Amino acid sequence: EAQVTQNPRYLITVTGKKLTVTCSQNMNHEYMSWYRQDPGLGLRQIYYSMNVEVTDKGDVPEGYKVSRKEKRNFPLILESPSPNQTSLYFCASSLWKRTSGDHNEQFFGPGTRLTVL
Amino acid sequence: DQQVKQNSPSLSVQEGRISILNCDYTNSMFDYFLWYKKYPAEGPTFLISISSIKDKNEDGRFTVFLNKSAKHLSLHIVPSQPGDSAVYFCAASGELYGQNFVFGPGTRLSVLP
């Protein structure tokens, strides 16, 4: 089954304790992205990756790191979590656009609800 | 400032009637739009899309209309069913954005039996 998986689904942690949220896709997609969802703000992009070893900042990258060492995995790292990073996080993947005007739908993981105390 | 706006946080509709969800955008560089549907405890799933070369796209009970001059699009669901109750996100992209999309804040639709 084609899917994007995230782990853990739920996490409660304390300020300053490093954590990693994993994301994996089995569709051989080049593009992967991390979003956070907050009430009234919708989905805001944190980081994205166009392919292995190619990553770039989204709209809200502060306090986050990512890596893309393999095509299928795109972990999100919080080196020193703070309470304002309490949110619902989604990983997504898609094919990279091939031609001008061609956009591909993104497939989303089930989400990770993070609480930082 | 939000580039993609969904000014109705919530909407309630009777089963069998039409649901109309609205989305406005400010960036004239956007030329491709999608709607995603999200159930609780699940990730968003793609619903329907429209390119700026069209003003309408239809898929079963779902139709998206695009008014480029007004920078406005709407999603029509006819007839609405209780299973349509979810949060709907509008998303926009353009040539300069590559594969990145800008999402609106979402509208929660409740279809009442």
Tell me if B99 and A101 make a contact (CB, 8 A cut-off): no
Tell me the shortest Cα–Cα distance from A17 to chain B, in angstroms.
25
**Residues in B lying within 8 Å of A, measured between beta carbons:** 2, 4, 6, 9, 31-32, 34, 36, 41-46, 49, 51, 89, 91, 93, 95, 98-101, 103-106
- Whole-angstrom distance, CA of residue A111 vs CA of residue A8: 9
pLDDT of residue A100: 56
Whether residues B89 and A42 touch (CB distance < 8 A) is answered with yes
Q: How far apart are the C-alpha atoms of B75 and B22, rounded to whole Å?
A: 7
Q: Tens of pLDDT along A42-86? A: 899 999 999 999 999 999 999 999 999 999 999 999 999 999 999
pLDDT at B65: 98
Q: Do A42 and B104 touch (CB under 8 A)?
A: yes
As a whole number of angstroms, the distance between CA B88 and CA B4 comes to 13
pLDDT of residue A104: 79
CA distance A37 to A90: 8
The pLDDT tens digits for A88-112 are: 999 999 987 656 555 678 999 999 9
pLDDT digits (tens, 9 = 90+) for B29-63: 998 999 999 999 999 999 999 999 999 999 999 99
- Number of Cβ within 10 Å of residue A34's Cβ equals 27
Name residue, tokens 């899917």: A3
Contacts 24+ apart (CB under 8 A), B49-58: B49/A103, B49/A105, B51/A101
Identify all chain A residues contacting B43, using CB atoms and an 8 Å cutoff.
Answer: 4, 90, 92, 108-111
**pLDDT score of B112:** 96
Q: What is the mean pLDDT of residues A4-10?
A: 97
A19-35 pLDDT per residue, tens: 999 999 999 999 999 99
The answer to whether A103 contacts B46, with C-beta atoms less than 8 Å apart, is: no
Contacts of A33 in chain B (CB under 8 A): 100
- Comparing C-alpha atoms, which of A115, A92, A83 is closest to residue A6? A92
d(CA B54, CA B36): 19
Kindly report the nearest CA distance between residue B91 and chain A, in angstroms. 9
CA atoms within 13 A on the CB side of A3: 8
- C-beta atoms of A101 and B9 within 8 A: no
Looking at chain B, which residue has its C-alpha nearest residue A96?
Answer: B99
Beta bridge partners of B93: B32
Confidence bin at A2 (pLDDT 50/70/90):
confident
**Closest approach of A25 to chain B, Cα-based (Å):** 14
> What integer pLDDT is reported at residue B55 of this predicted model?
94
Cis peptide upstream of residue B79 (ω within 30 degrees of 0)? yes
**Residue B110 — pLDDT band, cuts 50, 70, 90?**
very high
Give the whole-angstrom CA distance, residue B6 versus residue B23. Answer: 5
In chain A, % of residues over pLDDT 70: 94
Q: What is the pLDDT of residue A19?
A: 97
CA distance B51 to B30: 9
CB half-sphere exposure, A23, CA atoms < 13 A: 32
Check: CB of residue B11 under 8 Å from CB of residue B74.
Answer: no
Phi/psi of residue B76, each to 5°?
-110, 135
pLDDT, tens only, B64-102: 999 999 999 999 999 999 999 999 999 999 877 778 899
Kindly determine whether residue B105 and residue A103, on different chains, have CB atoms separated by under 8 Å.
Answer: no
Residue with tokens 């898929």: B59
How close, in Å, is residue B15 to chain A by CA atoms?
26
Neighbours of A61 (CB within 10 A): 16
Give the residue carrying structure tokens 């893309």: A68
